[in-house]
A and B are shown apart, each in its own frame.
Chain A
Amino acid sequence: MKEKFKRIIQLYDEMISLPHKTEIARELRDEDDLFLLLLYSDMLGLPNPVFYYTLELYPYIIEKFHDWHLRMGMEHSPLDGIRCC
């Protein structure tokens, strides 16, 4: 009985919080996109004084790179060094 009640409350919460979750995910994605843009700026031709340090982050974000360049409207990887697709 207690489990059922919990499940109903959970379903109700999901119903109502869906648009909010989407909006927060969009905000966080926008922040991520900006971060990635700063990170790859040097490879895109924009001078980046901390390029040497951001280089170390590449292995950690390589999986996100493909989604990012698709979202930015680039069908294929714009960087010669990273051939993700």
Chain B
Amino acid sequence: MGGIWLAVIGGLVFLFGYKYYSKLIAERVYRLDPNYVTPAHQYKDGVDFVPTNKFVLWGHHFTSVAGAAPIVGPAIAVYWGWLPAFLWVILGTVFAAGVHDFGTLVLSVRNKGQSVGSLANKLIGKRAKVLFLFIILILVLMVNAVFAWVIANLFITFPASVVSVFIQIPLAIWIGYSVYKRNGSMLIPSIVALGVMYASAVIASRVEFLQIDLVRYFGGQEATSLFGLSSTSMAFLVWIAILMIYVYIASTLPVWKLLQPRDYINSHQLIVGLGLLYLGLLFTNPEITAPMTNGAADVSWFPLLFITIACGAISGFHGLVSSGTSSKQLDKETDARFVGYLGAVGEGALALIAIIACITFFPNVEEFQATYSGFAAASGAGLGVFIQGAGQLATGVGIPADIAATIVSVIIVSFAATTLDSSVRLMRYIIAELGEEYNVNPLTNAHVATTIAVVSSAALTLLPQGPKGFGSGGYLLWPLFGTSNQLLAGISLLLITIWLKRQGRNYIATLLPMVFLMFMTLWAMINQVVFEWSGVGESEGNMLLFIFGSIILIFTLWILITAASSLSKKGDDPSQFSA
């Protein structure tokens, strides 16, 4: 079967989902009102609250939520065969992610543009807000550790991408500075920056001298480097140290200096990447060589699949963006369907092409099975397979596979670096907020909070022993990232459900995905924490993951009990929860 058919089927499901299901939800459940005065108009200040054209807002929303995560999850999950991953991405997008992203947007619009954290406080209680803060804190800690590992791993596997990624930093600073001081357009400078980055990727792909290959510098894969570490482990250590120094500086700078211009360049990269891959798919129509299902898997897809593909099907991070920024800029309430639901569909389309790139890369099923020989092997190799597969797809538009692979790895590293930068910044804010909440003044200092964020993230990246030895533990954390992310999405769906119930409306459309998500997440968490990481019985034991997993599990149960009692409350005044 040709890979293009998956894109066609997926595209049709997304189209029907948007055209019919989201319309049904908009009219019957969320009951969007075109005459409702949105917070963008009510609190218009020209900065946060700005009524914005729905196409413009969708573009902003989509580029804010899309990143490396919807690629990493599917690239690992195809280990269980392409069918489960494909079904979860398309059905999860239509029935869970779309409803969630759309719902958090509506909920926030109906509550003065407040974020889901503040709404947890309002709908469930103050304790829920603090628990929510802790869950977000753990989530961003996971993001930091996992994405630091993703970048280090790609620098080691694709050394030709290093120069382009580092060139992006001064270019972004230059764009940020010139736009801020001269108030000019960013379009032309950012396209020039993109051209410079890709030109350097092309040159570095062909000129070995420009490939910053630390493993080779340390004597090759077989060599032993300092402190008895293998050269690969040493390379991980050096890259992670460099990344952590970079991220410390980047996350303490004002956002307009580096983060925003980088984001701006990356938004072009997202469009370029998606266009390149879907066009390449159209022209090459490669055969699917991966098996439909994997009966011999060493770990069960049920329920692990639903937390391995976290972003791409449903993601709690989307709720943070929906209720954090997009809700403050919504011009009409009826635009929420276009912005929220289609934002999730865009992310689904990215996850879909990631699946297709991985399952069409190998020449035959034997080679696929040799690479995806076990879950740990799939975790270690997944992203590399996606990059090679994407490179192969890009040959359809005339780009040589090796150059295309370097460009794709530059795109992924750029996404991951921006995510890393933002999440360290977010972690700093949360630590400061918790410091204020509990009167621990030193934590409110930016440098103290950033140091805690950076050191804990580095420790979490380096301590678990991953498939490539010391420093490669990031992928072991991926399911834990998935659980905390899905948990956040589940809680957001729960908040929407409580709100709908208090409004006296039918809440089945949000309750069902919430129950499904919570059930899968809790099952997977209990399975991992008790049977894999605890060290009890036949499990191997992993104290670090056991501690983190247990904390998340306890918080989840706590928040669920608090929310369940809140959901069962009767006699609320619906107007109290609606602006």
Contact = CB atoms under 8 A, between A and B. Distances in A.
Contacts of B60: 15-16, 18-19
A29 B187 CA distance: 24
Interface stretch (A20-28, A42-50, A52-60, A72-80): A20-28
Interface string B169-199: 0000000000110010111000000000000
B255 interface: yes
Given A16-B268, A20-B260, A11 B55 contact: yes
Nearest 10 CB-CB pairings of A with B? A15-B59, A18-B60, A16-B267, A25-B47, A14-B56, A13-B187, A20-B260, A23-B256, A15-B56, A23-B260
B186 A25 contact: no
Given A14-B53, A29-B47, A20 B64 contact: no
A16 B63 contact: yes
Contact of A24 (B48, B53, B179): B179
Nearest to A13: B187
A27 B50 CA distance: 16
A82 interface: no
A16 B264 CA distance: 6
B265 to A, nearest CB: 9
A interface, size bucket: 10 to 19
Contacts of A29: 47
A22 B261 CA distance: 12
12 contacts: A11-B53, A12-B59, A14-B56, A15-B56, A16-B63, A16-B186, A16-B267, A19-B64, A19-B263, A20-B261, A24-B179, A29-B47
Contacts of B180: 24, 27
Majority-rule SS of A interface residues: helix
Given A24-B179, A24-B180, A67-B45, A18 B260 contact: no
B55 A15 contact: yes
Contacts of B45: 67
Contact of A17 (B48, B264, B325, B329): B264
Interface of B: 45-48, 50, 52-53, 55-60, 63-64, 179-180, 183, 185-187, 254-256, 260-261, 263-264, 267-268, 325, 329
Contacts of A24: 179-180, 183, 256
Contacts of B56: 11, 14-15, 18
Given A11-B55, A16-B268, A27-B254, A22 B186 contact: no
A23 B264 CA distance: 12
A84 interface: no
A62 interface: no
B432 to A, nearest CB: 18
Nearest to B329: A18
A61 interface: no
A19 B260 contact: yes
Given A17-B187, A17-B264, A27 B59 contact: no
Given A13-B185, A14-B56, A20 B179 contact: yes
Contacts of B268: 16
B179 A18 contact: no
Contacts of A22: 47-48, 50, 325
B52 A23 contact: no
B187 A9 contact: yes
B255 A23 contact: yes
A27 B176 CA distance: 12
A68 to B, nearest CB: 11
A14 B329 CA distance: 14
Contacts of B183: 24
